[in-house]
A and B are shown apart, each in its own frame.
Chain A
Amino acid sequence: MRIRFLRTEGFRLSALYAGVFALSVVILGGFVLVITNQALRDQIVTFSATDIAAVRNGFASEGDHEAIEVVHQLMAGPANSGFYLLQRDGKVLAGNLPAMPTRIGTVEFSASGATHSRAVLGVGDFLAPGLYVFSGSDMARLRAVEAHILNVMLILFAVALLIAAAGGALVSRGFLRRTDAMARTCHDIMQGDLNLRIPVRGTRDELDRLAEAINEMLARISALMENLSQVSNDIAHDLRTPVTHLRHRLERARSDSLTAQDYRVALDAAIAKADEILGLFAALLRIAQIEGGERRAAFAPVELGALLTQMRDLFEPVAEEAGDALQLATPGQVPIRGDRQLLVQLFSNLIENAIVHTPRGTRILLSLSRTEGRAVARVSDDGPGVPCEEHERLFRRLYRREASRSQPGYGLGLSLAAAIAELHGAAIQLIDGPGLSVEIAFPLAAEEMEKA
């Protein structure tokens, strides 16, 4: 558990950065080393050349004697280069080096001393034919500077690694804390509490975005679950009533019926009741299916003006027979994307509501308008209306107003309408007085939006 952060993404990233940083330290250090080395060598060569120039001057003015004198002075002097040699035809005249091969220009060799050999760098030249002079310096100084630079580099390298490791651990600990919280929440959700959500810090970073995406997914899942449990509840509780009624009828038929005709009437009534129950089942399943959203794949362009005209033609005779008037006001073509069959069912439900739940002589108006990029369809009537406080309940499954209990229907019309509207991304709302209006605001079809 303790070193779990070693395996986190945060730690891996910081380790990578530390590596890159250390590599740059090495490259930089190597560069410094080469430059310094070159500068020191140049310095040694310059000093040596100056010494040789002094010996040459002595020889030019007073010959061998003075040249030997200058070498001795240089060897005793404070700024000496360290190693000197003056030889004629392989015989040492002065200096602290044994006779050596006469090479001119910059010369590097290792001289074996009493205890250990040392690397020598210097300059050699002839003062006259056969008279060779060399001045050089021990390279130990150069090696010491190199070693110093290497040490500094090593320390820098170690410090860089340490800082990177500490930073990585710190970052990963924070990262781990948040992912641990996410994992814990997920586990709690798996235990059954679908209402839990992953904490979001509001920093809009990667983890926040991930948390938000997971939360949205959870919201969708819990909406579907709620929908599912709502349907099972409806089936468990509300379907009991009609099934109980059916049972009562059959029981009474068995005890009361005297003739074959009595039985036939009772059985017809029982079949009608069973059909009603099956219809209720079908309607509940349909709502659940629409809310599941599977139909969205079958969306196609639908022209709402033509669709409402068709609805007017379909229901106008029905409204007339019920003593109502059905009118239509559309501004021509209003295209949206949707499922034609479901839209027909949506408007049928609303128009049938207006016909069934209002007294004779009601005027029903189908209207359509375009506002702010939306296609707004309205089914309004000038009937008695529904009080505002009851509006929300009207959308509830199987809710039936006191006044309409005697009418046919399951109390699912508006729930179905709402489900269809939601599938189409449309907002549905009830507007009170005078009468009742149901307003559905669809998003316009995309090509229509471009025109606007």
Chain B
Amino acid sequence: MAPVRFLVAAVKILLVEDDHETSAHIVYALNGEGHEVAVCHDGREGLESARAGGHAALIVDRMLPGLDGLSLVRQLRAEGNHIPVLFLTTMTGLSDRVEGLQAGGDDYLVKPFAFPELLARVHAISRRGVGGDSEPIRLRAADLEMDLIRRTVQRGGKPVELQAQEFRLLEYLMRNMGRVVTRAMLLEHVWDLHFDPRTNIVETHMSRLRGKVDRGHGGELIHTVRGTGYMLRAD
């Protein structure tokens, strides 16, 4: 199987992680995508580096010597620093996710994780940082058009009838156009599910959505990325 290409411009990422094996693992994954990674093994050192700036995203572990991850991010946000943040944590905490987001994190990833999961999430949050705050009214991909105010979808000028959750699923794909989104990302953001279901929820909903959006309309827009997730791409 060919390695997944995430089609994102290489950026510089700051990683604050005290475990050397984990940090080496993450650096390896990000380097493979062409990203440059600066590593700190201590919370205070991490805070200084983040303050210095020049990074497109910050990956920070919850548990750190010197200064814990939550405090580090709270401090950055208090100083008006809007760098996109991805929290890393061990699998134990049930309330950790909420705490992380409340502290100002943009996303949350539980260790251990697969490479594609990490890459997809880093790309998703680093885009958020560049996009600014202006909320779009319409999303467009080739001849697919979504009106976020009227909550309508058209493909090639013809209306496409979608259920509420199909609309949310398509919206998430379109907002992340050109980027891989994983099953876990879809479960979390579209359905607010934070566990691994035993049935193929994502696949069946995606298949229904494709039936309405792609089938019978010229080019295919929703692509399956094997072993990882999906990507909406207009090429």
Contact = CB atoms under 8 A, between A and B. Distances in A.
Contact of B204 (A290, A298, A318): A318
Nearest to B205: A317
A282 B198 contact: no
A118 interface: no
Interface string B193-210: 111111111001101100
A318 B91 CA distance: 27
Interface string A343-381: 011001000100110000000000000000000000000
A318 B208 CA distance: 10
Contacts of A286: 94, 195
A278 B204 contact: no
Interface of A, secondary structure class, is helix
Interface residues of B, number: 26
Interface in B160-206: 163-165, 191-201, 204-205
A396 B92 CA distance: 21
Given A313-B163, A314-B191, A356-B198, A281 B91 contact: yes
Contacts of A281: 91
A409 B196 CA distance: 11
B3 interface: no
Contacts of A279: 196
B195 A345 contact: yes
A6 to B, nearest CB: 53
A218 B201 CA distance: 44
Contacts of A101: none
A318 B199 contact: yes
B132 interface: no
B112 interface: yes
Interface in B69-128: 91-92, 94-95, 98, 110, 112
A231 to B, nearest CB: 12
A282 B1 CA distance: 29
B91 A344 contact: no
B201 A314 contact: yes
A315 B199 contact: yes
B97 to A, nearest CB: 9
Contacts of A355: 199
A295 interface: yes
A293 to B, nearest CB: 11
B204 A321 contact: yes
A278 B199 contact: no
A352 B196 CA distance: 12
Contacts of A408: 198
Contacts of B195: 286, 345, 348
A282 B112 CA distance: 11
B204 A341 contact: no
Interface string A266-285: 00000000000011011001
A345 B233 CA distance: 32
Contact of A282 (B91, B95, B164, B193): B91
A239 to B, nearest CB: 14
Contacts of A313: 163-165
A278 B91 contact: yes
Interface in A406-432: 408-409, 413
Nearest to B201: A318
Contacts of B196: 279
Contacts of A62: none
A294 interface: yes
B92 to A, nearest CB: 6
Contacts of A352: 197-199
- Among A289, A314, A315, A345, max chain B CB count under 10 A is at A314
A298 B95 CA distance: 9
Given A315-B199, A318-B204, A356-B199, A294 B193 contact: no
Contacts of B201: 314-315, 318
B215 to A, nearest CB: 15
A409 B112 contact: no
B94 A289 contact: yes
Contacts of B94: 286, 289-290, 294-295
A322 B110 CA distance: 30
Contacts of A344: 192-193
A348 B193 contact: yes
A282 B111 CA distance: 10
A313 B201 CA distance: 11
A221 B192 CA distance: 34
A410 B189 CA distance: 26
B165 A314 contact: yes
A341 B165 contact: no
Nearest to A348: B197
B208 A317 contact: yes
Interface of A: 264, 278-279, 281-282, 285-286, 289-290, 294-295, 298, 313-315, 317-318, 320-322, 341, 344-345, 348, 352, 355-356, 408-409, 413
17 contacts: A264-B1, A278-B112, A279-B196, A282-B91, A285-B91, A286-B195, A289-B92, A290-B94, A298-B95, A314-B165, A315-B199, A317-B205, A318-B201, A321-B207, A348-B193, A356-B198, A413-B198
Given A278-B112, A282-B91, A321-B200, 12 more contacts: A285-B92, A286-B94, A289-B92, A295-B94, A313-B163, A315-B201, A318-B200, A318-B204, A322-B199, A344-B192, A344-B193, A348-B193
In the A-B complex, the 7 residue pairs with the smallest Cβ-Cβ separation, listed nearest first, are A317-B204, A282-B91, A318-B199, A352-B198, A318-B204, A321-B204, A352-B199
